[in-house]
Amino acid sequence: MIGMSAGNQSLARANTRIAAWIIAAVAMISAPLAAAQDDENFSISLGVFITDRNSDTSIGVSGDPMGTPVDLETDLGLDTSDTVFRLDGYYRFNDKHRIDISAFDLSRTSTKAIDKEIDWNGTIYPIDATVKGEFDLNIYKVAYTWTFMRRDKGYLGVTGGLYIADIGTRLSAANIADRDGGGVTAPLPVVGLRGEYQISDKWSFRASGEIFSLNYQDFDGSLTDFYAGVDYRLFEHASLGLGINSVKIDLGVKSADLNGALDWRYDGGLLFIKFDF
């Protein structure tokens, strides 16, 4: 199956991030009261996401479930950084309830003469073979937020939803294999916190943190997702924003289409324009 590669060090980092987010959230919402914030019902953000990524992946078959672990960046030459389009938004039903969405594509391809032998899905790719690597990754997020604490300058809410990762990994090489691999859509349930603090009439700070741990049917793994950013209001219904997003996924999958392990991380900066109505 797609195995787990978490370990104590990864867990410690995740716990540190969670603790930092909780401290920041409490500090944010406990700030002195001041002028009331706007409560828009609908928001959409269009932005560019500048990411730095690292992936360790293995694909196997029955009897050899792990295959050869492959670092997609080092072994196959996939770009470690890229700039992609990203869509975010929310709809607020009332002061206590809202739905958030997000979508972006982190797919990559590369061609490289490999410097180690790779056993991939039962196919052997020898040293010096020119291998084309494809890593398809589309992220769709939907989450419900219940606001349990509200102040004149901000709010804090608990979230629950799905982090949907549409994953495909393939290798190919002349005279060896044609697009050897598979794919799966992993609906990963997450829970977390989301908050906002109005710094001034023009500036606001937003942050969120989501986690999950799952061992169910075809899937076995964990995820942490943390975001923090600031918005600057240009005029009544439009703002410019800058944020950072850090995600870590350790995912195991055993299905008819994909059997292997994914240890994957991205950290990136987000520059966007946000429209509120």
Per-residue model confidence as pLDDT tens for the chain (277 residues) = 333 333 444 444 554 555 555 555 555 544 443 333 445 799 999 999 998 887 777 665 444 455 677 888 889 998 888 899 999 999 999 989 999 999 999 899 999 999 999 888 778 899 999 999 998 889 999 999 999 999 888 999 999 999 998 888 888 999 888 877 777 788 888 999 999 999 999 999 999 999 988 776 777 888 899 999 999 999 989 999 999 999 988 887 776 666 677 788 889 999 999 999 9
CA distances from 55 to 79, 80, 99, 143, 195 (A): 11, 9, 30, 26, 30
Q: What is the pTM of this model?
A: 0.80
Torsion sign across C-alpha atoms 231, 98, 28, 222? negative
CA gap 76, 176 in Å, rounded: 16
Residue 82: per-residue pLDDT:
86
Q: What angle do CA 142, 168, 226 make, to 5 degrees?
A: 40
Closest CA to 197 of 43, 34, 42, 40: 34
Closest CA to 186 of 249, 101, 102: 249
Residue 60: per-residue pLDDT:
55
Q: What angle do CA 68, 70, 72 make, to 5 degrees?
A: 160
Enclosing H/E stretch for 128 = none
Domain 7-276: give its CATH code: 2.40.128.90
SS3 of the chain: helix, strand, coil, percent, to 5: 10, 65, 25
